[in-house]
Amino acid sequence: MLIYVDDLLITENEAAMIEKLKMILHASFRMKDLGELKYFLGFKILRSSKGILLNQRKYALELIEETGLGGAKLVCSPMEYNIKLTIAGYDFCLIKSGGKKIDDEVLQGEKEIYKRLIGRLIYLTHTRPYITFMVHHLSQFMQQPKRSHLEGALRVVEYIKKNLGQEILLSSAGQCQLLAFCDADWAACLMTTRLVTGFCVKLENSLIS
């Protein structure tokens, strides 16, 4: 059973168990049964012989409208090739050590807009794993975002426009076997020279993390 504010989701292999739980809940609370799950917390749920399809098309459209990018051109990747994003403190140390001044202002009035945008993009990664790296990279700059960070986040939104109908399949085939994969580059973080690691976890054929 999953509860979020006033929304309730019940799942169980046995239909009789679901009905029994409904009766128990109805005895204590006034509830409205909306039947089989079709839409929940920004997710549209579709069923087929292959499994369950999840998409967030409506949520993505709302994000595009909120950011005012309805008329923006499409881009072919969620981030610019070879882009290097840094924190303001790193830029300052670079200048102190004789480096070139970087024309990249720290956001003031748009700081809260950036935070909200990143939060919404993180939620979209549930059905769009291909934006995960860029979104998590941008989330590292929440404390003191710069103009380049905001532009990077808006580019992700422009990329999402390219394929609004993206879905993720939770397959009904196969066994309940967990598979995990990971990889790391070599000292790619510009500010710390540490490894950048990526991973994915699948339940048989279904990507879950």
> How do residues 160-205 score in pLDDT, each as one tens digit?
998 888 889 888 887 888 999 999 888 777 777 778 888 999 988 8
Specify the pLDDT at position 164.
86
pTM for this predicted structure: 0.81
**Residue 40 and residue 52 in contact, taking contact as beta carbons nearer than 8 Å:** no
Q: For residues 61 and 163, state if they share a domain.
A: yes
Q: For residues 27 and 72, state if they share a domain.
A: no
Q: For residues 30 and 100, state if they share a domain.
A: no
Q: For residues 70 and 105, state if they share a domain.
A: yes
4-12: average pLDDT: 87
Q: For residues 191 and 162, state if they share a domain.
A: no
pLDDT tens-place string over residues 37-77: 899 888 999 988 889 999 999 999 999 999 999 888 888 98
Output Rg (C-alpha) for the chain, integer angstroms: 22
Domain count, the chain: 3
Report the alpha-carbon distance of residue 48 to residue 171 in Å, rounded. 10
Q: For residues 100 and 178, state if they share a domain.
A: no
Q: Which domain holds residue 127?
A: 57-167
User: Residue 139: pLDDT above 90?
Assistant: yes
- Per residue, the 3-state secondary structure of the chain, as one string, reads CEEECCEEECCCCCHHHHHHHHHHHHHHCCCCCCCCCCEECCEEEEEECCEEEEECHHHHHHHHHHHCCCCCCCCCCCCCCCCCCCCHHHHHHHHHCCCCCCCCCECCCCHHHHHHHHHHHHHHCCCCHHHHHHHHHHHHHCCCCEHHHHHHHHHHHHHHHCCCCCEEEEECCCCCCEEEEEEECCCCCCCCCCCCEEEEEEECCEECC
**Residue 112 included in any domain:** yes
